[in-house]
């Protein structure tokens, strides 16, 4: 919709009925918008519409009757703006299913954090291939725990869009007193921060599980930020973006709390549990498990040194011994801090 030449987005469609999708739908309602949530599972749709609770993914949070769920993508396609909250490795297929229902000019906001495993594509690159030509694409990233957003606790995020007018309209549509988007035009940098921090959070969890101390965790966060920045620069992102919410902010949150799915997974690994056992008891996705190999592959393709991410990938996907991997990192040659 337009008013006075400026886009306005009153009906917000959210694709993804997990905790984060539900929390973002609540954020849109608090911003004074209509919100429609698409979920793949009929049981989730039924639970939201009749019990006003997402019992499977966000139990204990009462949802307002104004939040309606659907299993029909055509209904989502009729919205003014769409938030894409699918798991990162399924984002491409989600875009492909959405494309026939998408009206021209409707912006799609990517809210998934990851890098595609098979192609090493960023989420925006995968979306551009599958969505109709000319579809405006934005990225929402930053330090967010879904449960806190759902409860209306204060949260700040980055909203990145190459078209700053569309980006500003999206900020206006989603922003409220407790959900505060900060506008950026660095779509690449905003995605790299959100993707790689999940891998580093697993490493910080291992530090916690192995009781290596707070000094080690602080060092890992700092050197991990250097890895994120190197990769973002190699892909055309900006260093200052990584000093903001989608970089340092997201990294700090995810690497400092066992509320993080990725950090808690790493902690369990550090305590000696197997990855297969950890994943078998979880319903929600720890994106870092799948992103680790993609980050390492993309870094190798771009000639970027990312030893911490490579260590996580080796532990998760290559059968590397945990203690030997830690010892290998600690035996690396000393170097200048800017390297």
- The strand pair at 179-184 and 155-161 is best described as parallel
Tell me the torsion sign for CA atoms 89, 92, 94, 97: negative
User: Quick check: is 211 catalytic?
Assistant: no
For residue 248, what are its two tokens? 């340092």
Residue of 197, 211, 301, 302 marked catalytic:
197
Helix axes 214-234, 307-317, angle to 10 degrees: 100
Nearest to 107 by CA among 89, 91, 128, 122: 128
In terms of C-beta density within 10 A (0-12 exposed, 13-18 middle, 19 or more buried), how is residue 178 classed? middle
> Which residues lie across from 184 on neighbouring strands?
160
Beta strands, E only, the chain: 2-3, 6-7, 11-15, 34-38, 68-70, 81-84, 108-110, 137-141, 155-161, 179-184
Q: Which residues contact 32 (CB under 8 A, 6 or more apart)?
A: 176
Active-site annotation, residues: 197
């Amino acid at each position: 919709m337009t008013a006075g030449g400026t886009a306005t987005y009153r009906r917000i469609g959210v694709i993804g009925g997990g905790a984060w999708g539900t929390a973002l739908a609540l954020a849109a309602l608090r911003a004074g918008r209509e919100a429609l949530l698409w979920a793949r599972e009929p049981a989730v749709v039924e639970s939201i519409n009749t019990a006003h609770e997402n019992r499977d993914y966000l139990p204990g949070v009462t949802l307002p009757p104004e939040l309606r769920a659907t299993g029909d993508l055509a209904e989502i396609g009729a919205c003014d703006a769409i938030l894409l909250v699918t798991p990162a490795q399924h984002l491409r297929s989600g875009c492909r299913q959405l494309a026939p229902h998408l009206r021209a000019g409707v912006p799609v906001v990517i809210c998934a954090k990851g890098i595609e495993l098979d192609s090493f594509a960023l989420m925006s690159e995968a979306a551009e291939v599958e969505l109709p030509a000319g579809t405006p694409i934005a990225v929402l990233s930053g330090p967010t725990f879904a449960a806190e957003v759902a409860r209306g606790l204060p949260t700040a995020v980055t909203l990145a869009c190459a078209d700053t007018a569309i980006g500003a309209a999206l900020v206006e549509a989603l922003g409220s007193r407790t959900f505060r988007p900060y506008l950026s035009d660095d779509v690449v940098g905003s995605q790299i921060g959100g993707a790689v921090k999940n891998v580093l959070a697993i490493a910080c969890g291992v530090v916690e599980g192995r009781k290596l101390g707070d000094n080690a965790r602080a060092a890992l966060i700092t050197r991990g930020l250097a890895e994120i920045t190197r990769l973002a620069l190699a892909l055309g992102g900006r260093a200052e973006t990584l000093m903001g919410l989608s970089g340092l902010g997201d990294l700090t949150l995810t690497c400092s709390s066992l509320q993080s799915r990725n950090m808690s997974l790493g902690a369990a690994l550090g305590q000696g549990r197997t990855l297969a056992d950890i994943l078998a008891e979880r319903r929600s996705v720890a994106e870092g498990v799948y992103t680790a190999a993609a980050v390492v592959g993309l870094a190798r393709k771009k000639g970027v040194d990312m030893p911490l991410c490579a260590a996580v990938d080796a532990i998760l996907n290559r059968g590397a011994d945990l203690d030997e991997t830690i010892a290998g990192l600690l035996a690396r040659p000393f170097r200048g801090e800017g390297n």
